[in-house]
Structure 1
Amino acid sequence: MAETNGLTQDECYKKLAKDYDGYHFDYDTPGIYNPFSLLNTLDNKVFRDYWFETGTPSFLVYQLKKTEYPLESMTEEELTTDTLNSIHIMDENPLPLLYQSGYLTIKSYDKEFDCYQLCFPNREVEQGFSQLLRRLKKNGNK
């Protein structure tokens, strides 16, 4: 894999981690790789955005189109545990849905205030989501 892409073994490991690692189920757990993208990358020996090539779920696109939430600033907001685990406030705040569907992951947790900060788990998801936002804006959505 490394040789095919003109990388050292260490560079290859770092690129795999940057592109496909980083999802956290909880604030104190190690990051996990996206198995779909990782297995496709290893099988094809090509770094690509395999997860986004499968298509963004239409339900997610529908929710994002109808929200007034400023998606560009979503990684700056802090969320409580109740908000993060909620599925009933999607019209107001799509972050719980984005977290629960793997588009965002836990960056940090403040135990004193019970607040989470989210981020994109890896380059593949961040780049794919940025492209989705551009398409939504181009089509007249926020």
Structure 2
Amino acid sequence: FSGLNNLRDITVSADYSALCGYTERDLETVFAPEVEGLDREEIRRWYNGYNWTGESVYNPFDVLLLFQERQFHAWWFETGTPTFLVDILTQRGFFTPDLAHLRADEGLLSTFDVDHIANEALLWQAGYLTLAGSRRTGARLEYRLAYPNLEVESALNDSLAKALIGQPSLASALTGRLYDLLVAGKPAALHAHLDALFAAIPHQWHLKTPIAQY
């Protein structure tokens, strides 16, 4: 009986869920002076949401930079572009809308073989998805995965869009145009914009690119 073979894994232990982040109480007490003047709901929407079956926590890196710069930004995401992750998801033809509501069992999430790791496990272990709930069906424990917050959701989808389009500047322009039309409430113009996007895809493109996988 070796102790090293019987370590306790506290990754999804509710007792330690707040071990590596700032809690709501931390912001209310320790960081009360820094929080003053900032929208608490926006702080929560941007940087809270990381959860390991217990109390949700804020990303410390984001929070500290927010207090210093006084503006909401994808601080943590930009510390390292997830090129490896984006490449894998695009190569596998992953359906990105599923990122908001994936499910995985506990065995899948503990996979560490990079060459054969499931998308769900990779995204969770890299910090781009978090635990949003769980349920037990017989002897099987299943977790529901979701984006932790607005920072990760917007920044990851932006990176995926640029990778799929292949031209970052064009992706930014198309995204900006789409946003403007939605905010302006112009359904006819939005319809024309979407039509143009789909019309720009060559009908035989699948012969030379992985688009046939989608």
What TM-score range do you get, normalising by the shorter chain?
A: 0.7 to 0.9
Q: Is the 8 A contact 1:75 1:117 kept in 2?
A: no
Match of 2:126 in 1: 101
Structure that is richer in helix per residue: 2
Over aligned residue pairs, what C-alpha RMSD do you find?
A: 2.3
Q: TM-score, normalised by structure 2?
A: 0.55
CA distance in 1 between counterparts of 2:55 and 2:81 reads 26
CA distance in 1 between counterparts of 2:115 and 2:146 reads 18
Which of 68, 71, 78 is the aligned partner of 2:93?
68
CA distance in 1 between counterparts of 2:104 and 2:114 reads 12
Q: TM-score, normalised by structure 1?
A: 0.80
Q: Is the 8 A contact 2:102 2:120 kept in 1?
A: no
User: In the TM superposition, what are the counterparts of 1:19-30 in structure 2 within 5 Å?
Assistant: 19-24=46-51, 26-27=52-53, 29-30=54-55
Which of 1 and 2 has greater Rg? 2
SS of the aligned residue for 1:65 comes to: helix
Match of 1:123 in 2: 150
Q: Is the 8 A contact 2:111 2:117 kept in 1?
A: no
Q: Is the 8 A contact 2:109 2:121 kept in 1?
A: yes
Match of 1:33 in 2: 58
Give aligned-pair identity as a percent: 28
The number of residues matched between the two structures is: 133
| Cα distance change on mapping 1:91 and 1:137 into 2, 3 Å | farther
Match of 1:15 in 2: 42
| Cα distance change on mapping 1:130 and 1:20 into 2, 3 Å | same
Tell me how far 1:31 sits from its aligned partner. Answer: 0.9
Tell me how far 1:19 sits from its aligned partner. Answer: 0.5
SS of the aligned residue for 2:76 comes to: helix
Q: Is the 8 A contact 1:79 1:117 kept in 2?
A: yes
User: In the TM superposition, what are the counterparts of 1:78-89 in structure 2 within 5 Å?
Assistant: 78-88=103-113
SS of the aligned residue for 2:58 comes to: coil
Tell me how far 1:2 sits from its aligned partner. Answer: 4.5
| Cα distance change on mapping 1:31 and 1:17 into 2, 3 Å | same
SS of the aligned residue for 1:41 comes to: helix
Tell me how far 1:91 sits from its aligned partner. Answer: 4.8
Q: Is the 8 A contact 1:67 1:92 kept in 2?
A: no
CA offsets per residue over residues 44-88 of structure 1, 9 Å max, x none?
111111122223233323322322332321333321100111123
CA distance in 1 between counterparts of 2:49 and 2:68 reads 21
